Amino acid sequence: MTVKELFDSMDYGPAPESAAEALAWLVDMGDRFGHFIDGAFTAPGAGFESKNPATGEVLATITQATQTDVDAAVKAARKAQPKWEKLGGPGRARYLYAIARLLQKHARLFAVLETLDNGKPIRESRDIDVPLAQRHFYYHAGMAQLMEEVLPGRAALGVCGQIIPWNFPLLMLAWKVAPALAMGNTVVLKPAEYTSLTALLFADICTQAGLPRGVVNIVTGDGAVGEMIVAAEVDKIAFTGSTSVGRRIREATAGSGKALTLELGGKSPYIVFDDADLDSAIEGLVDAIWFNQGQVCCAGSRLLVQESVAETFHARLIARMDKLRIGNPLDKCIDVGAVVDPVQLATIRGMVEANTAGQVHQADIALPAGGCYYPPTLITGLAPSDRLMQEEIFGPVLVSCTFRTPAEAVELANNSRYGLAATVWTENVNLALDIAPKLAAGVVWVNATNLFDAAAGFGGVRESGFGREGGWEGLAAYTRPVGKAKALKPVESFSGSGAPADPIDRTAKLYVGGKQARPDGGYSRPVWGKGGALLGHVGLANRKDVRNAVEAAQGAAAWGRATGHLRAQILYYIAENLSARAGEFAHRLDAITGARHGAREVEASIQRLFTYAAWADKYDGRVHSVPIRGVALAMNEPVGVIGALCADEAPLLGLVSVMAPALAMGNRVVLVASEPFPLAATDFYQVLDTSDVPGGVVNILTGSHAELAAPLAGHLNLDAVWSFSSTPLSKAVEAASAGNLKRSWVNNALARDWFANDSAEWLAQASEVKNIWVPYGE
Ligand code: NAI
């Protein structure tokens, strides 16, 4: 293209970035990579080729790790961990800071290598991936520095296994490695098989930073290596990738005691109201769905546009699509680069070709010959239930449907099994701030999209996974309370054969929807005291009762919208009513458990209620100063409906300890009472009845924990499941939770001191952080 032609067309001329330095680095490394274990590269072994998706050219050969390699990496990480943790936060901060500096120094090399390996435009790797990776290390250098001061009583988890995808290879590495190292953990990380090169360059950076050997270990290979890491003796698995693999990891780690965070897929809504600045919303869409060729977990891939402006919006969008520049990713003028691999390209093509609904518009631009290119695509006129409106395409394909009212927009937006991110576009601040809290998403962008920062947590709800990366909440996933818990022994029911003290039928029922309910199966069992006296009968709940209780809890969603002040009032009222009957409950607890600490347990239960009543209007969110013209509001939201198997050993306090924080944060609960000592819970119904607790907010079942664990944990309308049962059910509960990837919190057969309280832990488990990015200021 001549300068004259450029002047005539006002088009962009080619501006290629040089690949020389990156290619030279590959040559220096011998074009063949082993793993990075215990501070050194291993000899390259059998493996696979890593190719440039824009050209098909082979960049390097990567080694497929064997079990021996993974074992060696885990062993190195284990050996290095205690010393790394003992170095202390400020000591570790120096290393993180050094890594950040080196990432900055070698920014161009990283950006070019990333673009060569992944196919993303150099503009993105240079201006987004690499700077955000640096930012993550700087931010977490600060977190390491402050750890002892701001997180007293927290310790490192130990060795973290980290498995990352190919869409943001270096950035996902930074999201995983920086917080783990900051908190004193060591890591074994596996990059995705398509894109291992920047992780291997990062290994080189660790050496340059003088990082103690074994602190960072990188093994390469495919999903089979991922499975080996999941099965290894590690203390945590952090995974980012597809929902199907995330589910398998949930099942594989169930009951293992390994901490788990999953950052999975999405089908994020991009909502455009009729008063929006439509041109800005269209530019936003370019960033939402054509950023990184749409291979972004939080891509705004589902356009919901208000009917009144849909026609003009689509027309303008199509015109904009035709102006997108697609081509050599190393060209600094390119908007859309290459899809990561021919396999991914075939998946995208297959999904679009299989679709017969709506109207397909593909950008009217010539695709470069060779290489994995797919044209920017828009499919309009889809119905909410169409496959492409529901399934993640993970390519540059936007699907669209219309809505009429804000309520319909929310309904359509939430009509998804995913809940990662959402974008709201409107000039009306009241509307934006009305809609944002109603969206099932971990991140909401107002009049902006795809904004990320180390200070703002990122992660989803529903089948988009659980746990957050970044911000304060991200740190919790890399620490544990100090101290070692003792094993929890199963607590047995007493047996007996005596007749009841009086002839009145005392079969306690279940408590569902604010009413006492007979168990569906009609079965009950006798409950004996320590000396063999018959204390009463208790109903045995079954699968159907679980369903009824969850339904009742779902129906009480208004509790989540009640003010913290109101929730506090009701918790105080429960405490007051329990207090009025303290003597009676204490006496009864002594008879039920045969222990003599009934009075202490009642008093602790009252205190627990007071504590969470106090918290109900004080567990505030945060305002993050993120580097945009605006703020990110980290709002604590209720998780939803929480099901819990309550502690056997503390029948009243265990139940209250679960119920109080859950209610304080706006959740509804389905509680399965202590199995051996259920009568403490059934007596408690009357306290609830007299305390203005709305029906359905608290539901209590009695029966066998072993029988109720799977129906409860597997229920698809439950948002979280907790188990403090003394029956070893952690594995069953976590495995059953994999269905809808609900959050789980289990005791792993370890004892908890119910008389001690850790509000921070309970409040965090009972809430979900939503980061709402709001433009603010000039
Ligand atoms: P994937 O989920 O299979 O791969 C992600 C990572 O997990 C890779 O490092 C892979 O080697 C590893 N892995 C695969 N199977 C594993 C197993 N059984 N145990 C442990 N680790 C395992 O994603 P894939 O196949 O690369 O992409 C398929 C689809 O997944 C995409 O089309 C997209 O829809 C989705 N995806 C979502 C991502 C996100 O950020 N949420 C990222 C990448 C893919």
Which ipTM score applies to this complex? 0.96
244 C-alpha to ligand 1 centroid (Å):
8
Q: What is the mean pLDDT of residues 339-345?
A: 98
pLDDT at position 778: 67
Q: Over range 534-542, report the average pLDDT.
A: 95
Q: What are phi and psi of 347, to 5 degrees?
A: -65, -45
Spacing, Cα 144 to ligand 1 middle (Å): 30
pLDDT at site 11 = 78
Q: How confident is the model at residue 506 (pLDDT cuts 50, 70, 90)?
A: confident
Q: At what angle are helices 564-580 and 653-664 packed, to 10 degrees?
A: 160
Kindly give the pairing relationship between strand 534-539 and strand 524-528. Answer: antiparallel
Of ligand 1's listed atoms, the one at least distance from the Cα of 230 is 20
Q: Which atom of ligand 1 is nearest to the CA of 344?
A: 32
Residue 375 C-alpha to ligand 1 middle, in angstroms? Answer: 23
240 lines ligand 1 (CB under 6 A): yes
Q: State whether the beta carbon of 227 lies less than 6 angstroms from ligand 1.
A: yes
In short, whether 248's Cβ falls inside 6 Å of ligand 1 is yes
Residue identifier of the C-alpha nearest atom 30 of ligand 1: 242
- Exposure of 354 by Cβ count < 10 A (0-12 exposed, 13-18 middle, 19+ buried)? exposed
Distance CA 190, CA 228 (A): 10
- Mean pLDDT of the 621-643 span: 94
Question: How many Å apart are CA 738 and CA 602, to the nearest integer?
Answer: 36
Output the CA 295–ligand 1 centroid distance in Å: 12
Q: How far apart are CA 143 and CA 472, in angstroms?
A: 9
663, 567 contact by CB (below 8 A): yes
Pocket residue to mutate for ligand 1, from 64, 230, 242, most atoms within 8 A of Cβ: 242
> Atom 9, ligand 1: which residue's CA is nearest?
192
* Ligand 1 pocket, residue 392 CB under 6 Å: yes
According to the model, what pLDDT value does residue 115 have?
98
Whether 394 lines ligand 1, by a CB cut-off of 6 Å, is: yes
Look at ligand 1, atom 20, and give the residue with the nearest C-alpha. Answer: 226
Q: Which atom of ligand 1 is nearest to the CA of 246?
A: 2
Q: What pLDDT score was predicted for residue 627?
A: 84
At residue 660 the predicted structure's pLDDT band, cuts being 50, 70 and 90, is very high
- What's the whole-model pTM score? 0.97
521, pLDDT greater than 90: yes
764 phi, psi to nearest 5 deg: -65, -40
Of 245, 292, 345, 417, best ligand 1 pocket probe by most atoms within 8 Å of the beta carbon: 245
Q: Which of 236, 222, 227 has its CA nearest to residue 193?
A: 222
> What separation in Å is there between the alpha carbon of 723 and the centre of ligand 1?
29
pLDDT of residue 10: 76
- How far apart (Å, rounded) are the C-alpha atoms in residues 764 and 2? 61
Instruction: Work out whether strand 515-517 and strand 216-218 pair parallel, antiparallel, or are unpaired.
Output: unpaired
Active-site residues: which are they?
Answer: 263
* pLDDT class of 689 with cuts at 50, 70, 90: very high
CA 511 to chain centre: 32
The answer to whether 449 and 422 are in contact (CB under 8 A) is: no
Ligand 1, atom 36, lies closest to the CA of: 242
Residue 766: pLDDT band by 50, 70, 90 thresholds?
A: very high
Asked if pLDDT for residue 638 goes beyond 70, the answer is yes
pLDDT of residue 649: 96
Is the pLDDT assigned to residue 2 strictly greater than 90?
no
Confidence of residue 13 (pLDDT cuts 50, 70, 90): confident
What is the Å distance from ligand 1's center to 752 Cα? Answer: 36
Instruction: Decide: 41 and 72 in contact? Cβ < 8 Å.
Output: no
SS3 450: coil
Output the DSSP codes for 83-146: HHHHT-HHHHHHHHHHHHHHHHHTHHHHHHHHHHHH---HHHIIIIIHHHHHHHHHHHHHHHHH
Q: For ligand 1, atom 19, name the residue with the nearest CA.
A: 227
State pLDDT tens for residues 288-341: 999 999 999 999 999 999 999 999 999 999 999 999 999 999 999 999 999 999
- Determine if ligand 1 sits within 6 Å of the CB of residue 261: no
Q: Distance between CA atoms of 753 and 485, rounded to whole angstroms?
A: 9
Q: Which atom of ligand 1 is nearest to the CA of 264?
A: 41
Residue nearest to atom 22 of ligand 1 (CA): 223
* pLDDT tens per residue across span 418-444: 999 999 999 999 999 999 999 999 999
For ligand 1, atom 38, name the residue with the nearest CA: 241
Number of DSSP helices (H) and strands (E) in the chain, helices first: 28, 33
Q: Whose CA is nearest to atom 21 of ligand 1?
A: 226
Quick one: average pLDDT of 613-629? 93
The answer to whether 738 and 421 have CB atoms below 8 angstroms apart is no
Give the span between the Cα atoms of 256 and 74, in whole angstroms: 17
Average pLDDT (648-654) is: 98
pLDDT for res 329: 98
Q: How far is the CA of 525 from the centre of ligand 1 (A)?
A: 48
- CB 452 near ligand 1, within 6 Å: no
Centre of ligand 1 from the C-alpha of residue 562, in Å: 39
Percent of the chain with pLDDT over 70: 99
| Predicted pLDDT of residue 476 | 87
User: What's the CA-to-centroid distance between 392 and ligand 1, angstroms?
Assistant: 13
Q: Does the Cβ of 189 fall within 6 Å of ligand 1?
A: no
Tell me: pLDDT of 501 over 80: no
List the 524-528 sheet strands across, edge first: 507-508, 534-539, 524-528
Asked if residue 264 has its Cβ within 6 Å of ligand 1, the reply is yes
Count of residues making up the chain: 778
Sign of the torsion angle spanned by Cα atoms 458, 462, 465, 466: positive
Give the number of the atom of ligand 1 that is nearest the alpha carbon of residue 393.
34
Span 571-609, pLDDT tens digits: 999 999 999 999 999 999 999 999 989 999 999 999 999
Is the C-beta atom of 165 inside 6 A of ligand 1?
yes
At residue 5, the pLDDT reads 81
Is the pLDDT at 503 greater than 70? The verdict is no
Instruction: Give the number of the atom of ligand 1 that is nearest the alpha carbon of residue 221.
Output: 11
730 lines ligand 1 (CB under 6 A): no
Q: Which residue has the tokens 């991922």?
A: 226
65 C-beta closer than 6 A to ligand 1: no
Q: In this structure, are residues 675 and 644 in contact, taking their beta carbons and an 8 Å threshold?
A: no
CA-nearest residue, atom 25 of ligand 1: 242
Model pLDDT for residues 187-221, shown as the tens digit of each residue: 999 999 999 999 999 999 999 999 999 999 999 99
731 pLDDT more than 70: yes
Question: Ligand 1 centre and the CA of 716: distance in Å?
Answer: 24
Q: Which of 3-12, 256-265, 680-689 has the lowest mean pLDDT?
A: 3-12
Q: State residue 450's pLDDT score.
A: 96
Q: What is the pLDDT of residue 776?
A: 85
Expressed in angstroms and rounded, the spacing between residue 486 Cα and the centre of ligand 1 is 37
115-162 pLDDT per residue, tens: 999 999 999 999 999 999 999 999 999 999 999 999 999 999 999 999
Tokens of 33: 């990579």
351 lines ligand 1 (CB under 6 A): no
Ligand 1 contacts CB of residue 291 (under 6 A): no
CB of 172 closer than 6 angstroms to any ligand 1 atom: no
pLDDT score, position 457: 96
State the pLDDT confidence band at 628, using cuts at 50, 70 and 90. Answer: confident
- CB of 230 within 6 A of ligand 1: the answer is yes
- Give the chain's mean pLDDT: 96
Residue 41 tokens, joined = 């590269």
- What is residue 504's predicted lDDT score, i.e. its pLDDT? 66
For the CA of 464, the closest atom of ligand 1 is 41
For ligand 1, atom 27: residue with the closest CA: 242
Tens of pLDDT, residue by residue over 75-98, are: 999 999 999 999 999 999 999 999
- Position 499 pLDDT exceeds 80: no
